[in-house]
């Protein structure tokens, strides 16, 4: 798996659901979760889809937080210089 390929895993009893997706295709992953939840041939249900979509959201928020704060020490130094 390369750096842009990600996965969400749900273990449910003896079953294991693995959803692999590329960074940037999270919308397609959500569509796949909805499709899987609507498929009556599996035990994957709407609660499972909600759990995985929540995990996906947490992951995206974590990535956004890292991007927003990666230059924070430099931003604080710039602010301090301007106010001196």
pLDDT number for residue 4: 85
* Helix axis angle, 46-69 to 26-38, nearest 10°: 170
What are the extents of the domains in the chain? 5-83
For 9, the enclosing helix (H) or strand (E) is strand 5-12
- 56-84 pLDDT per residue, tens: 999 999 888 888 887 666 655 555 555 55
Contact 8, 52 (CB under 8 A): yes
pLDDT number for residue 28: 97
- 11-62 pLDDT per residue, tens: 999 999 999 999 999 999 999 999 999 999 999 999 999 999 999 999 999 8
pTM higher than 0.85 for the full model?
no
Compute the distance between CA of residue 14 and CA of residue 53 in angstroms, rounded to an integer.
21
């Amino acid at each position: 798996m390369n750096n842009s390929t990600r996965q969400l895993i749900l273990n449910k009893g003896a079953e294991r659901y693995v959803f692999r997706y590329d960074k940037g295709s999270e919308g397609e992953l959500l569509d796949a979760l909805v499709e899987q939840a609507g498929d009556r041939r599996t035990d994957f249900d709407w609660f499972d889809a909600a759990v995985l979509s929540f995990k996906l959201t947490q992951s995206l928020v974590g990535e956004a937080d890292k991007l927003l704060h990666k230059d924070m020490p430099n931003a604080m130094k710039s602010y301090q210089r301007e106010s001196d």
